[in-house]
Structure 1
Amino acid sequence: MDKMLYVAMTGASQNALAQKVHANNLANVSTNGFQKDLEQARSMPVFGDTQPSRAYAMTERPATDMSGGPMIETGRDLDIAIGGEGWIAVQGADGKEAYTKSASLNIDALGVLRTSTGLPVLGNGGTIAVPPDDKIEIGQDGTISIRSLGQSPSVMAVVDRLKLVNAKDSELTKGTDGLIRTTSGQPAALDANVQVSSGFLQGSNVNAVEEMTQVMSLSRQFEMHIKMMTTAKEDDEAMARVLQMS
């Protein structure tokens, strides 16, 4: 009975972890640029004094879905999104290069271009500093142009260019802060084919219906594991009574 109880217990605990993955995806269904986490379970043989005739479940996050979400038009000049493949480079809280597919940008009091979460945006030479301006535009190739204070509307000066990179999905990993990084820790390669759309934000790539269905399915599985644990307890009690009678 103890083996049956152990297998059911591990199934329930791992099932609860799987539910957390899908619950987190659901919680970020409206988070711009969010990349959903994938989840899978596999059986692991139990090794001991005998042959591994039993197996327990193990939940794992094998990867992150790197596909893009829907494009949401905002009309704001400093809202940017990657329309296809590629990433926008930012400086993470740890000071290292990280990537996102969408960002709502702002210019701080020192003229540094930052995301809505305060992370500096990277350009060709590092963080991007924007002089005081009347207007700012971001081209499809990531070029940042401004019209300086008091200048003619037709006079636009190039300040910098967004660092736009690309890499294979297998070379990327998602951090706990939601940002994407390379598995090697080295900066991803620049890609001139990556295009950015100004006035748009990219929505989450989470399918709410799919995630909810998975949560419901996992909830039923969890209940089944609990029932197995209860059955193991009842069988153990019944066996104890038989032994007492004998």
Structure 2
Amino acid sequence: MESAVYKSMIAANQLLEKQSIISNNLANISTTGFKEKFIFAIQNQNVKNLYNNYNKITKEYHNLSSGTLNHTKRNLDVFVKNDGWLTVKDLNGQEAYTKNGHLKVNSNRKLTIQENEVVGNNCNIEIPNNITLKILSNGTITSTIKKNKNIIENKIGALKLVRLPSQDLVQKENGLFYIRKNNDLLNKYSHTINHDNEIRIQSGMLEESNVNASQNMIEMISNARQFEMQMKMISMCDQNAEYANHLININN
């Protein structure tokens, strides 16, 4: 009986964890570049204890397929094609990666994404005042100035575009993605990923969230029903234990 209760408790905890992931997916259904997350519970074969034998290892995965494209026609909105990623520095100065291509210029004339500074390809990107920006398909940033009826175009810098191994991605609470430590692609001196010259972007559009709302809602309802079943199982075991104790007391 204790084994049945233990199994039901483990299952209920896993269902609560799944519900938390699904709730986060639905909450970010309108977040630019958001990637749907889900978890799998894998049986832990290394533990032989009677109770711990039912423990499962939880692994987190992300759906990295592209979301729908929103044509904004804004010069500082970019869509990173295929498996490419934009590089930023988080608030702690650590390099991180995102699919959110909604770039802004802050008060210090730096390009940012959600207040995180955009990292340049071997350059420090600083945006001059009173210019028109243009971002080319290879990530090069140029400025256009009209002077004496002539249009002057200058290179300001270039975005650092990277290709990441999906199996080694970790997403933190800030919504940014990071590479697991000891990955072979990490530069052993700077602990960062090198720029990939083959990655291409398209300006004037944004990639929306790839969350499938209907599928997540169905899974949420299914998980809720399964959770109810586990709670009923625990309740039934408690009732059976009470009946058994009552019979023992009568016999005594």
Fold equivalence (TM over 0.5): yes
Question: What is the CA-CA distance between 1:232 and the residue it aligns to?
Answer: 0.2
SS in 1 for 2:83: coil
d(CA) in 2 for partners of 1:242, 1:222 = 31
Residue number in structure 1 paired with 2:89:
91
What amino acid sits opposite 1:22 in the alignment? Answer: I
What amino acid sits opposite 1:42 in the alignment? Answer: I
Q: Does 1:181 align with 2:178?
A: yes
Residue number in structure 2 paired with 1:15:
15
Task: Assess if the C-alpha contact under 8 Å between 1:132 and 1:148 holds in 2.
Answer: no
| Aligned match for 1:190, one of 192, 195, 215 | 195
d(CA) in 2 for partners of 1:231, 1:188 = 54
Residue number in structure 2 paired with 1:245:
250
| Aligned match for 1:168, one of 165, 169, 173 | 165
Task: Assess if the C-alpha contact under 8 Å between 2:3 and 2:51 holds in 1.
Answer: no
Residue number in structure 2 paired with 1:224:
229
Please give the per-residue CA displacement for 1:2-43, whole angstroms capped at 9, x wherever unaligned: 232222122212211111111111111111111121211234
Q: Classify 1:152/1:78 alpha carbon distance in 2 versus 1 (closer, same or farther; 3 Å).
A: farther
Q: Does 1:110 align with 2:80?
A: no
Question: What is the CA-CA distance between 1:178 and the residue it aligns to?
Answer: 1.3
Q: Does 120-129 or 196-205 show the bigger shift?
A: 120-129
Task: Assess if the C-alpha contact under 8 Å between 2:33 and 2:209 holds in 1.
Answer: yes
d(CA) in 2 for partners of 1:118, 1:54 = 44
Q: Classify 1:17/1:220 alpha carbon distance in 2 versus 1 (closer, same or farther; 3 Å).
A: same
d(CA) in 1 for partners of 2:44, 2:104 = 49
Task: Assess if the C-alpha contact under 8 Å between 1:64 and 1:173 holds in 2.
Answer: no
Residue number in structure 2 paired with 1:200:
205
Unaligned stretches of 5+ residues in structure 2: none
Q: Classify 1:187/1:206 alpha carbon distance in 2 versus 1 (closer, same or farther; 3 Å).
A: same
| Aligned match for 1:65, one of 39, 54, 63 | 63
Please give the per-residue CA displacement for 1:101-134, whole angstroms capped at 9, x wherever unaligned: 222111122211112x211111123541011133
Residue number in structure 1 paired with 2:116:
119
What amino acid sits opposite 1:87 in the alignment? Answer: W
What amino acid sits opposite 2:103 in the alignment? Answer: L
Residue number in structure 2 paired with 1:40:
40
| Aligned match for 1:142, one of 139, 149, 152 | 139
Task: Assess if the C-alpha contact under 8 Å between 1:68 and 1:101 holds in 2.
Answer: no
Question: What is the CA-CA distance between 1:60 and the residue it aligns to?
Answer: 2.0
Task: Assess if the C-alpha contact under 8 Å between 2:35 and 2:63 holds in 1.
Answer: yes
Q: Classify 1:53/1:59 alpha carbon distance in 2 versus 1 (closer, same or farther; 3 Å).
A: closer
Task: Assess if the C-alpha contact under 8 Å between 2:44 and 2:57 holds in 1.
Answer: no
Q: Classify 1:177/1:209 alpha carbon distance in 2 versus 1 (closer, same or farther; 3 Å).
A: same
TM-score, L = length of structure 1: 0.90
Residue number in structure 1 paired with 2:26:
26
